[in-house]
Structure 1
Amino acid sequence: MKTSTTIKTAIAVLFFQQTVFSQETKKEVISSEPKYTIENCVNHFELDKATKTKVGYQYWFADKNFTQENTLKMSIVEPGKSTHAPHHHPEEEFFYILEGSASFYLDGKTVVVGPNTSLYCPSNAEHGISNAGTTNLKYLVIKKDLR
């Protein structure tokens, strides 16, 4: 009987220790997540904080290091240029045209669109976007991270 009680006590102690350790681990994980405040959740575009590219510049309103799974970026592309050649990736993307004229390529077909137009690119579809106009093209890119 004494052995049975000792084993039950040992199991209870181990269970208690595991529960405490699990709660401490959860606290550590939670504390490593970003703290969201009104100051860091409102992001106003500032040109001096934008990243210069070969064809214009990009500005990240939110990146995957800040959000839990989404990114929001604004791209500005000079006339006749594109940020990169048609490509594909596992993430789906939305583009929203703010200003200018965009040539959108999706799986072998191309369409030219203007402001206030959204474009959707499904996962793994070959796609590209370029400036089809004579003024800068400004658009938003929304992508979900596949962590």
Structure 2
Amino acid sequence: MTATEKARTPGALRAGPQDYAFELATVNHLLGGPDYSSAAGSCVEGDRMMVALMRMKAGTGAEPHSHPNEQWIFILEGTFHATVGGTSIAATPGTLIYIPSNTLHEGKAGADADVVFFTVKDTTHSLHGIKAA
């Protein structure tokens, strides 16, 4: 796999021509929000979308933040306790969460198990959000 352009997210892989398959478990390792979140995993960026497979350790989470790109979060393992635009959500495996652009949100893994989630964002901004003041 070779990147033809620089990724928006530091440490992410930028997909290039004829890069069609990626092993998300081993492609890279980065923090989902270095200054506000405990989520860590892998990220691949294309022309208009980016995807990431992230793990948040039990009892840890992401402080309130937003980003100019919209986001989808699909819960694979654990329970994710989130607040999106003032609405509380307890998301279990199979739940899909939508976060509109520029919407304040936060979340935390349940105390009993890690949360593993797959996330998709458009590439108008990096994977990393902007911590709320």
Matched, 1:70 2:74: no
Correspondent of 1:127 among 92, 95, 105? 105
RMSD: 2.4
Structure 1 runs, 4 residues or longer, greater than 4 Å off? 32-35
What does residue 107 of structure 1 align with?
Answer: 85
Q: How many residues align?
A: 109
- Which ranges in structure 1 are unaligned for 5 or more consecutive residues? 1-31
- Which ranges in structure 2 are unaligned for 5 or more consecutive residues? 6-14, 126-133
Counterpart contact for 1:100–1:133, Cα < 8 Å: no
Distance in 1, matches of 2:17 and 2:84, equals 36
Correspondent of 1:57 among 12, 37, 40? 40
Give the TM-score taking structure 2 as reference length. 0.70
Higher strand share: 2
For 1:141, what is the secondary structure of its paired residue?
A: strand
Counterpart contact for 2:24–2:53, Cα < 8 Å: no
Counterpart contact for 2:76–2:118, Cα < 8 Å: yes
Higher helix share: 1
Q: CA deviation digits over 1:81-132, x for unaligned, max 9?
A: 01x3111121110000011100111122211110011000011111122202
